[in-house]
């Protein structure tokens, strides 16, 4: 049965590629796949070139907003890459969507998939991973229905959001400064250009809002990171004997190379401390290393409660991880950078320069902190009042203000 489903999915992908790009492009993709198997660096381009070609960002289409019903309910289209289980960015997006849905608003999810899969192929995974979402799941390439608001949620999704003729004021959920994801070049320029499309930004933290206003003259509002206290919390009578590292080779902005070197230096000074890593499998680092790979939030809370400190590096906007660590009484060790200090704004975070030796020393200081139980309780209490509801309330306030202008 599974083989039949895979075959049907591949057949849909092939037919869609042929329909939209022609047989020649299908052959080109096959060559790229073969080259990749032979070790060549050949990835599928992250945005459809026809979408970039169609987007003349100096030309503004008049903003049309349908009448808002008497009951005040809004319809919001969200353009997203296919959500993956455990993705922090998609998790935050769905938290905001579910808050709007809880208030009686309608949200539709329009998927942007450059690999040729249909929304129907992704829907079972999305419904399983994000069961609170009640809206439709559709293909953005089929066109969007009119809405009061249309949200881009990543730089590549801004192109179809800009090009689509549907009604609705354009907004942009910005969770990171995505031009920094690439070396200076074509991709970084294409990502940066999306901030000049005239959308209204809604950013994860104050740093991004200030950067986009200053550098791009982009109108923005921002929300504070929440913390899922039901998932991440301090557990009583748990013995701490380790540190933890959020390790992801697939996300260069998380600086895994520096982190692993810091762990190596730390282990030399503290051979009795267990080192946990999670995010993706990275291989054995030493006798006291546990390589967890991708794990569930509940498993992660257990690990945090066993650790004195967690190494979490962010060369761009901060991730969700530091607040989750704090909630469990695990002290985050973070690279010292303006974007991290502005967004975190927490006295229990340990900052260090982004060098292996400085980070190793900061981890060492954390594990040797006197009366750690008291420190852990204070760290957990410092984020206990943070809720994702506040971000949802801020989003609805922004939508009402902007749509009633």
What's the mean pLDDT in 17-41?
46
User: How many C-beta atoms lie closer than 10 Å to residue 117's C-beta?
Assistant: 17
Q: Scan for tokens 């257990």, then name that residue.
A: 302
> Cα torsion at 202, 353, 262, 84 (round to 10°)?
10
Q: Enumerate residues 6+ apart whose C-beta is below 8 A from 388.
A: 92, 95, 96, 99, 226, 227, 228
Residue 180 pLDDT: 97
Question: Cβ-count burial of 311 within 10 angstroms (0-12 exposed, 13-18 middle, 19+ buried)?
Answer: buried
Residue 2 pLDDT: 53
Ordered alpha helix ranges (H), 65-220: 88-102, 119-129, 155-163, 186-193, 206-216
Which residues partner with 109 through β-bridges? 78, 137
Residue 22 pLDDT: 52
DSSP state of 25: H
What's the mean pLDDT in 165-177?
98
306 pLDDT band, cuts 50/70/90, is very high
Question: Of the candidates 276, 280, 364, 354, which has an alpha carbon nearest to the alpha carbon of residue 314?
Answer: 354
Residue 380 pLDDT: 97
Q: Enumerate residues 6+ apart whose C-beta is below 8 A from 36.
A: 42, 43
Dihedral sign (CA 335, 83, 34, 50): negative
The answer, yes or no, to whether residue 206 has pLDDT greater than 90, is yes
**Radius of gyration for the chain, computed over Cα atoms and rounded to the nearest angstrom:** 22
Q: How far apart are CA 251 and CA 146, in angstroms?
A: 35
Residue 6 pLDDT: 52
The answer, yes or no, to whether residue 99 has pLDDT greater than 80, is yes
- Is-contact 147 167, C-beta < 8 A? yes
Q: Which of 13-27, 84-98, 188-202, 278-292 has the lowest mean pLDDT?
A: 13-27
What's the mean pLDDT in 33-46?
53
**% pLDDT > 70, the chain:** 89
Residue 203 pLDDT: 98
The answer, yes or no, to whether residue 217 has pLDDT greater than 60, is yes
| β-strand pairing of 200-204 with 169-174 | parallel
Which residues partner with 171 through β-bridges? 151, 200
Question: Cβ-count burial of 397 within 10 angstroms (0-12 exposed, 13-18 middle, 19+ buried)?
Answer: exposed
Residue 31 pLDDT: 41
Residue 11 pLDDT: 55
CA atoms within 13 A on the CB side of 32: 12
* Mean pLDDT computed over every residue of the chain: 91
The answer, yes or no, to whether residue 101 has pLDDT greater than 80, is yes
- Is-contact 357 265, C-beta < 8 A? yes
Q: How far apart are CA 146 and CA 182, in angstroms?
A: 34
Over residues 361-385, the pLDDT tens digits come to: 999 999 999 999 999 999 999 999 9
In order, the DSSP letters of 188-248 are HHHHHHGGGS-PEEEEESHHHHHHHHHHH---EEEE-----TTTS-PPTT----EEEEEE-
């Amino acid at each position: 049965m599974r083989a039949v489903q895979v075959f049907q999915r591949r057949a849909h992908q092939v037919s869609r590629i042929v329909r939209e790009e022609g047989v020649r492009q299908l052959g080109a993709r096959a060559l790229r796949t073969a080259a990749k198997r032979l070790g060549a660096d050949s990835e599928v381009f992250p945005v459809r070139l026809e979408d970039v070609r169609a987007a003349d960002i100096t030309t503004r289409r008049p903003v049309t907003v349908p009448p808002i019903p008497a009951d005040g309910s809004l319809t919001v289209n969200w353009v997203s890459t296919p959500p993956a289980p455990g993705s922090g960015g998609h998790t935050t997006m769905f938290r905001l969507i579910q808050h709007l849905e809880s208030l009686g608003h309608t949200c539709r999810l329009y998927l942007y998939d450059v690999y040729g899969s249909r929304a129907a192929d992704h829907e079972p995974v999305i419904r399983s991973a994000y069961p609170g979402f009640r809206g439709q799941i559709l293909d953005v390439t089929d066109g969007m229905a009119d809405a009061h608001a249309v949200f881009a949620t990543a730089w590549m999704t801004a192109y179809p959001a800009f090009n689509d003729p549907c009604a609705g004021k354009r907004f942009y959920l910005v969770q990171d400064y995505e031009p920094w994801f690439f070396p200076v070049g074509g991709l970084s320029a294409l990502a940066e250009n999306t901030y000049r499309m005239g959308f209204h930004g809604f950013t994860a933290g104050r740093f991004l809002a200030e950067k986009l206003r200053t550098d791009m003259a982009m109108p923005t509002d921002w929300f504070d990171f929440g913390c899922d206290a039901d998932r991440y919390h301090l557990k009583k009578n748990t013995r701490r004997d380790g540190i933890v590292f959020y390790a992801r080779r697939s996300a260069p902005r998380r600086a895994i190379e520096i982190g692993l070197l810091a762990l190596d230096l730390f282990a030399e000074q503290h051979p009795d401390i267990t080192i946990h890593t999670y995010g993706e499998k990275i291989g054995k680092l030493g006798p006291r290393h546990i390589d967890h790979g991708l794990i569930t939030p509940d498993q992660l809370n257990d690990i945090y409660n066993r650790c004195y400190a967690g190494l979490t590096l962010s060369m761009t906007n901060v991730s969700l991880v530091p607040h989750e660590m704090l909630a469990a009484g695990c002290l985050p060790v973070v690279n010292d950078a303006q974007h991290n200090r502005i967004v975190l704004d927490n006295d229990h975070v340990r900052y260090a320069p982004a060098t292996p030796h400085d980070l190793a020393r900061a981890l060492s200081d954390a594990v040797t902190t006197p009366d750690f139980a008291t420190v852990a309780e204070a760290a957990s209490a410092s984020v206990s009042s943070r809720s994702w509801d506040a971000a949802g309330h801020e989003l609805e306030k922004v939508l009402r203000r902007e749509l009633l202008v």
